[in-house]
Amino acid sequence: MTPTEYEYLRKFLKDNSGLDLSADKQYLIESRLLPLARKAGLSGIGDLVQKLQGGSRTVITDVVEAMTTNETFFFRDKVPFDHFRDTIMPEIIKARAARRSIRIWCAAGSTGQEPYSLAMCLKEMGAALTGWRIEIIATDLSQEVLEKAKAGIYSQFEVQRGLPIQMLMKYFKQTGETWQVNPELRAMIQHRQLNLLHDFAQLGTFDVIFCRNVLIYFDQDTKINIFNRLARQIEPDGFLVLGAAETVVGLTDTFRPIPERRGLYKPNDPRVAAAKPALAGAAPRMAAMAGR
Ligand SMILES: C[S@@+](CC[C@H](N)C(=O)[O-])C[C@H]1O[C@@H](n2cnc3c(N)ncnc32)[C@H](O)[C@@H]1O
User: Is 212 annotated in some ligand binding site?
Assistant: yes
Q: What's the CA-to-centroid distance between 210 and ligand 1, angstroms?
A: 11
* Residue 140 beta carbon below 6 angstroms from any ligand 1 atom: yes
End-to-end CA separation in angstroms for the chain: 35
In this structure, the number of other CB atoms found within 10 A of the CB of residue 98 comes to 6
- Which pLDDT tens digit goes with each residue over 210-241? 999 999 999 999 999 999 999 999 999 999 99
pLDDT at 280: 44
Q: List, by residue range, all CATH 3.40.50.150 domains of the chain.
A: 79-150+182-275
Dihedral pair phi/psi, residue 109, rounded to 5°: -80, 0
pLDDT at 288: 46
Q: What's the CA-to-centroid distance between 87 and ligand 1, angstroms?
A: 25
- Which pLDDT tens digit goes with each residue over 46-93? 999 999 999 888 999 999 999 999 999 999 999 999 999 999 999 999
Kindly report the three-state secondary structure assignment for every residue of the chain: CCHHHHHHHHHHHHHHHCCCCCCCCHHHHHHHHHHHHHHCCCCCHHHHHHHHHCCCHHHHHHHHHHCCCCCCCCCCCCHHHHHHHHHHHHHHHHHCCCCCEEEEEEECCCCCHHHHHHHHHHHHCHHHHCCCEEEEEEEECCHHHHHHHHHCEEEHHHHCCCCCHHHHHHHEEEECCEEEECHHHHCCEEEEECCCCCCCHHHCCEEEEEECCCHHHCCHHHHHHHHHHHHHCEEEEEEEEECCCCCCCCCCCCEEECCCCCCEEEECCHHHHHCCHHHHCCHHHHHHHHCC
pLDDT at 273: 64
CB 81 within 8 A of CB 120: no
Q: What's the CA-to-centroid distance between 145 and ligand 1, angstroms?
A: 9
Q: Is the domain covering 3-67 a CATH 1.20.120 domain?
A: no
Q: Long-range contacts for 168-175 (Cβ within 8 Å, ≥24 apart)? A: 171/116, 171/120, 171/123
The count of C-alpha atoms lying within 13 angstroms of the C-alpha of 247, restricted to the half-sphere facing its C-beta, is: 9
pLDDT at 269: 83
User: Is 213 annotated in some ligand binding site?
Assistant: yes
* Residue 111 beta carbon below 6 angstroms from any ligand 1 atom: no
CB 217 within 8 A of CB 20: yes
Q: List, by residue range, all CATH 1.10.155 domains of the chain.
A: 3-67
pLDDT at 231: 96
Substitution site in 69, 140, 150 for ligand 1 pocket (most atoms within 8 Å of beta carbon): 140
- Using CA atoms, how far residue 213 sits from 41, 73, 109, 133, 162, in Å, is 33, 12, 10, 28, 16
Substitution site in 110, 114, 196 for ligand 1 pocket (most atoms within 8 Å of beta carbon): 110
pLDDT at 105: 98
How many residues appear in the chain? 292
How much is the pTM?
Answer: 0.93
CATH code for the structural domain at 79-150+182-275: 3.40.50.150
**Residue 179, strand partner residues:** 154, 174
* Residue 70 beta carbon below 6 angstroms from any ligand 1 atom: yes
User: Is 225 annotated in some ligand binding site?
Assistant: no
Return the amino acid letter for 265.
Y
Residues of the chain with pLDDT under 50: 278-292
* Residue 243 beta carbon below 6 angstroms from any ligand 1 atom: yes
Alpha carbon 56 to its chain centroid, in Å, reads 26
State the Cα torsion 135-142-289-104 to the nearest 10°.
Answer: 10
- pLDDT, the chain, mean: 92
Q: What's the CA-to-centroid distance between 130 and ligand 1, angstroms?
A: 31
Q: What's the CA-to-centroid distance between 141 and ligand 1, angstroms?
A: 7
